[in-house]
Amino acid sequence: MQHDPFHRLPADAVTVLPVGQGAVIFRQGDRATGLFRVIRGSVVLRRATATGAPVVLHRATTGQLFAEASVFSAEYHCDAVCTQDGDVARIDKAAVAQALRADPDFAESFARLLAVQVQQYRQILELMSIQSARDRVLSAVHSGLLSGSVVEFSARIGLTHEACYRALRRLVDEGRLVKTARGRYGPKP
């Protein structure tokens, strides 16, 4: 991943964990021991509303970090649940905190990594403000967000996969997108 600072940490600070679909990595209120990166698969961060309804706060996919705030928190503020089989790397909180204090290059690289993620989150928020499924899908494809399956893509941009497939089909029929293979779409050249 671009601007990856974690190679500067001691080898024992990063632990790779195999995870299965439905596995809980941590629960809200658990003691925060580290942040995580999805190596393969996907993980959702979710919390219950005041009425008890579950809300997905973030969906982390291959290469993305989650629970970054745990470096500065005593406990996790949501649940992390795997939505696909895969692997996650647990990055030790104490090692990150020590490196932030002692290694200016690590601190700068970590800040750059977080800045890129903030930009990505803002892009998703911008897309979510687009009411029309068709327009949201078109903008997301033009932004390069359709890199995995259509089901994963639809969840990432806040649509049901059925609505996403209908929008993709309509955009192809209109000549706005091209279907390059099964489940693969791109901007019209």
Q: For residues 45 and 169, what is the distance between their CA atoms, to the nearest angstrom?
A: 30
Strands 79-82 and 24-26, how do they pair? antiparallel
Note whether 88 and 37 are within 8 A (CB).
yes
Q: What is the pLDDT of residues 42-79, one digit of tens each?
A: 999 999 888 888 888 888 888 899 999 999 999 999 99
Is residue 135 scored above 80 in pLDDT? yes
At 3, the pLDDT band (50, 70, 90 cuts) reads low
* H/E run at residue 136: helix 133-142
Q: From the CB of residue 74, how many other CB atoms can be counted at a distance below 10 Å?
A: 8
At 176, the pLDDT band (50, 70, 90 cuts) reads very high
How far apart, in Å, are the Cα atoms of 63 and each of 40, 108, 187?
Answer: 8, 19, 24
- CATH level 3 topology of 130-187: Arc Repressor Mutant, subunit A (1.10.10)
CA Rg value for the chain: 18
What are the b/e assignments for 165-189, b being 16+ CB within 10 Å?
bebbeebeeeebbeeeeeeebeeee
At 149, the pLDDT band (50, 70, 90 cuts) reads confident
Closest alpha carbon to 178 in 189, 167, 166: 189
Q: Parse the chain into domains and list their residue ranges.
A: 6-102, 130-187
At 153, the pLDDT band (50, 70, 90 cuts) reads confident
At 1, the pLDDT band (50, 70, 90 cuts) reads very low
* 6-102 CATH choice from 1.10.150.530, 2.60.120.10, 1.10.8.80, 3.40.50.300: 2.60.120.10
Same topology between domain 6-102 and domain 130-187: no
